[in-house]
Structures are given as C-alpha cells and as structure tokens.
Amino acid sequence: MRIANPTKSVTIDADIEHVKRCVKQLHKIYVDIDMQSPETTEDDLMGIYTYRISELGVNFGVRAVISLSQEIKGQTKIDIEMQRIVGSYDMGSEVQLANQHMLTILQSLSKLLQKSEEELANFTPQEEEKVSNEGGTFFYVTFFIAVIVISIAFLSKCQ
C-alpha cells in the first residue's frame, strides 16, 4: 500500500532572503545531505531547494524538497516534502525516518537562522554542531545483520 509523501509546513518570523541563505547552508550542519548528487538543485528565484539525503541500506535515499514563500512582510512559510528517490513510501518505518529527516532539517535551519549575515557568510561548523540521522543508519544496519543471520541459519539447515 502506497503512503503519501510526508510533509511539514511552518511559518516563521524571518525575512525570506535570510531564510534562503540559511537553507543553502544546511549541508554544512546536516551532513547526510549530498551536494554532489544530480537530485540536488537550488532555485533562488522560485524559492525551491531539493536535496538528496543519503540513507544507509537497501534504498537509494530520499529527496527533501524545501519550498519557501513570503506570507507577509517579515514572515516566511517553509514547506518540506520528503520523496523517495526510487519507489514510494509503503512502510511505517520509512515514514518515521522521513519525519526524522524533516525534524533534523528544521533543527539545523533553526541553528542557522540565529546567525547574523556576517556569521552566515563565514560559517564553518564545529564538529559538535554537525548532525546526522544515525538512527536511520542503525535501523538499516540492524536489518542487514538480521538478514545475514537468518540466511546463515537457513543455509545451515539445508545442508
């Protein structure tokens, strides 16, 4: 059964131009964003930013589509949609991981929005500022190990 792409929308008190500059710096904090991927695009004119987020495991990762729009002067609406690169969401655990990605994006963006224009222009994060969704990695590594153990047990009974 196909599950709709997870989405989140928030409106914040910040100028859209400052938010755009912060979104373009997300990869410095959220290290799972793959800036070299062909899925990664940044359109300042339309305010749409698409980033490939790597996930360890049997899937090809996800795309985070971040759309920005100015609600009223000084307020920016941020829409985030998570899309599978191949296939669609069909398990609850995949949706939970997508929700974790959205939370990490918003937390990282919050850290960047607190910086002034000068700080943002020269921003190099400290190691403790960088984040990754290790929980997702743990899920896939555990799943992979379980498959190997079950395969070995099955093969040993067949001999």
Per-residue confidence (pLDDT) for residue 69, from 0 to 100: 95
Per-residue confidence (pLDDT) for residue 50, from 0 to 100: 95
CATH 3.90.1170.50 fits 7-158, yes or no: no
Q: What's the whole-model pTM score?
A: 0.78
**One digit per residue, pLDDT tens: the chain, 159 residues?**
677 888 999 999 999 999 999 999 999 988 888 888 888 899 999 999 999 988 765 467 789 999 999 988 889 999 999 988 776 666 777 788 888 889 999 999 999 999 988 888 888 877 777 777 755 555 556 666 777 877 777 777 766
Helix extents (H) in 30-133: 92-113, 117-121
